[in-house]
């Protein structure tokens, strides 16, 4: 069942999203060579809770942490780890969900540690642009397939990357994961039609090599690229409105001005 949100509910999600965005902005000063991925978890959890919100990933299907911290070839769902130290040139993805008085927001952001290689910089640039190409399709009357087709064409056809199939976007609110499912690949003109009041995530995960994931990690959570290549992800929560897609987790009001 798809829940269409009222303006009041969307505003509640926007307030939640502002906390989540603030956490990501703060991580820009935290993430550097020599810290452990556990320090990201500590900062993220403290930031969320100190702003009166709940780190909603804790306890979700048994997950124990406020954040997912995935490094280099790790696509998603990496545990924060005290014994994993960040190195110069690493590519780190930090994903979390915030619940503020029942308003949910979900956002993942990628960070280059120290001085990134040209390979990392290009992958980050392409992945971030693909996020916004997908968001541009999130207008009333378009279909879910339009979102995925725009992302897949840019990442795979134009840049030769792998567009992950195993993990996709989703509806959000009144719980973390709701219908509809939002793949980042697909065929334009196909799938569910978008309606005013839908709140969804767009969260492409893009690999330098194959799109296929290795999900054999004994944790039951961590997914890696099947060929050991790098993976990058950017994610926003957004609302479908009569005035176009509205990003609820924006970190940059100037860059995102047309979506606010």
Tokens of 192: 């569910």
CA angle (101 as vertex; 19, 22 as ends), nearest 5: 0
In the chain, the largest separation of any two C-alpha atoms, in whole Å, equals 48
Residue 156 carries which DSSP code?
I
- Long-range contacts, stretch 60-66, CB < 8 angstroms, 24+ apart: 60/97, 60/176, 63/221, 65/41, 66/41, 66/96
> Is 77 labelled as part of a ligand binding site?
yes
Asked if residue 184 belongs to a known ligand binding site, the reply is: no
- 177 labeled part of a ligand binding site: yes
Question: Which tokens in the block code for residue 193?
Answer: 């039609």
49 is in an annotated binding site: no
Asked if the bond preceding 180 is cis, omega within 30° of 0, the reply is yes
Angle of helix 37-50 versus helix 7-30 axis, rounded to 10:
140
DSSP classification of residue 174: S
Q: What's the distance, CA 110 to chain centroid?
A: 9
Per DSSP, what are the bridge partners of residue 105?
98
Q: Does the annotation list 203 as a binding residue?
A: yes
The contacts of residue 100 (CB under 8 Å, 6+ apart) are 12, 15, 16, 19, 51, 52, 53, 54
Binding annotation for a divalent metal cation: 95, 106, 170, 203, 235
Binding annotation for substrate: 77, 177
Binding annotation: 77, 95, 106, 170, 177, 203, 235
């Amino acid at each position: 069942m798809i829940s269409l949100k009222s303006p009041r509910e969307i505003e509640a999600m926007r307030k939640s999203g502002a906390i989540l965005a603030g956490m990501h902005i703060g991580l820009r000063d935290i993430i550097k060579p020599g810290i452990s991925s556990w320090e990201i978890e500590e900062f993220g959890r403290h930031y969320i809770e100190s702003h009166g919100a709940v780190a909603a990933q804790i306890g979700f299907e048994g997950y124990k942490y406020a954040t997912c911290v995935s490094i280099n070839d790790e696509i998603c769902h990496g545990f924060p780890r005290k014994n994993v130290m960040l190195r110069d040139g690493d590519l780190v993805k930090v994903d979390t969900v915030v619940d503020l008085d029942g308003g949910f927001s979900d956002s993942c952001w990628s960070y280059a540690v120290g001085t990134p290689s040209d390979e990392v910089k290009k992958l980050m640039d392409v992945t971030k642009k693909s996020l916004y190409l997908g968001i541009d399709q999130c207008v009333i009357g378009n279909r879910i397939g339009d979102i995925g087709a725009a992302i897949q064409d840019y990442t795979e056809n134009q840049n030769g990357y792998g567009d992950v199939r195993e993990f996709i976007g989703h509806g959000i609110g009144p719980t973390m994961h709701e219908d509809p499912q939002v793949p980042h690949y697909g065929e334009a003109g196909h799938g569910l039609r978008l309606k005013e009041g839908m709140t969804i995530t767009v969260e492409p995960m893009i690999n330098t090599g194959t799109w296929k994931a290795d999900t054999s990690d004994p944790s039951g959570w961590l997914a890696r690229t099947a060929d050991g290549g790098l993976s990058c992800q950017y994610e926003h929560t957004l609302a479908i409105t009569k005035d176009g897609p509205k990003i609820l987790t924006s970190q940059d009001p100037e860059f995102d001005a047309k979506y606010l």
